[in-house]
Chain A
Amino acid sequence: DTEVTQTPKHLVMGMTNKKSLKCEQHMGHRAMYWYKQKAKKPPELMFVYSYEKLSINESVPSRFSPECPNSSLLNLHLHALQPEDSALYLCASSQRDRDSAGYTFGSGTRLTVV
């Protein structure tokens, strides 16, 4: 299995809703990432998990809450989002060791906040 699987593919949520985005990989990658991509912009890093521990939080608002229950799963819990949070949310994974340089992206979740 050489894929990163993200669910759902599309999500529409109200500003008072609570929802979660899920990401799964079975490549044995020990680093997992959340990126946010707005229209016509490159992906922006949100969070990095390394060996299931949060290692980077790029000053993301607390209405986004990541969780890494095990080495194969990465969740992003959403609560009280704003319309400007509408974007494509991408999950990625990579090997953790210095000698590996590749990344694998999931197909993304397109989120619309109404």
Chain B
Amino acid sequence: EDKVVQSPLSLVVHEGDTVTLNCSYEVTNFRSLLWYKQEKKAPTFLFMLTSSGIEKKSGRLSSILDKKELSSILNITATQTGDSAIYLCAVGTFNNAGNMLTFGGGTRLMVKP
């Protein structure tokens, strides 16, 4: 059974801090690893990673995939209160039914002023 685990479960930091969120996986037929940010509505896409060792960056957020270690990290530098959200990691796999997505349990980030 495909499995995605995120850590920590929750995190409280102060504005300006840097945080690192972790995602590890055990899946069959890996295709991609995706990071989402979720506030009160549907998940918002952040990054999709398919190649190991290549960092993706968007403003203060960056992410990298390590296929050897079956893991990924999401870094947020100079955190702001608007970064408070649940961050979801999902791993895409491919089988006869198509592209499947297995979610981790999420990391709840709270950024205090």
* A to B contact number (C-beta, < 8 Å): 70
Interface 9-residue window, one of B56-64, B71-79, B101-109? B101-109
A64 at the interface (CB under 8 A from B): no
What is the 8 Å Cβ interface bit string for chain A, positions 44-62, against chain B (1 contact, 0 not)? 1100101000011000000
User: Complex formed: what's the CA distance from A88 to B42 in Å?
Assistant: 8
| Distance, CA A44 to CA B90, complexed state (A) | 11
Which one, A40, A50, A90, A106, contacts B98 given CB within 8 A?
A50
B42-A106 in contact (CB<8A)? yes
Chain A: minimal CB distance from B96 (Å): 7
Other than A101-B94, A102-B32, A103-B101, give 11 A-B pairs with Cβ distance below 8 A: A42-B106, A50-B98, A56-B100, A90-B43, A92-B101, A94-B99, A95-B99, A101-B92, A102-B34, A102-B48, A108-B42
- Interface size on B (CB < 8 Å)? 26
**How many residues of chain A get a CB closer than 8 Å to chain B's CBs?**
29
What are 20 A-B interface contacts by the 8 Å CB criterion?
A31-B99, A40-B108, A41-B106, A42-B88, A42-B103, A42-B104, A42-B106, A43-B88, A44-B103, A48-B97, A48-B98, A48-B100, A88-B41, A88-B42, A90-B42, A94-B99, A98-B31, A101-B50, A102-B48, A103-B90
A98 contacts across to B, CB distance below 8 A:
31, 94
- Decide if A103 touches B98 in the complex (CB within 8 Å): no
B34 contacts which chain A residues (CB < 8 A)?
102-103
Asked whether A108 lies within 8 Å of B41 as measured between CB atoms, the reply is: yes
Contacts of B100 in A (CB 8 A): 45, 48, 56
Taken together as a complex, chains A and B put the C-alpha atoms of A50 and B109 apart, in Å, by 35
Which A residue sits closest to B42, measured CB to CB?
A108
Q: Does A112 interact with chain B (Cβ within 8 Å)? A: no
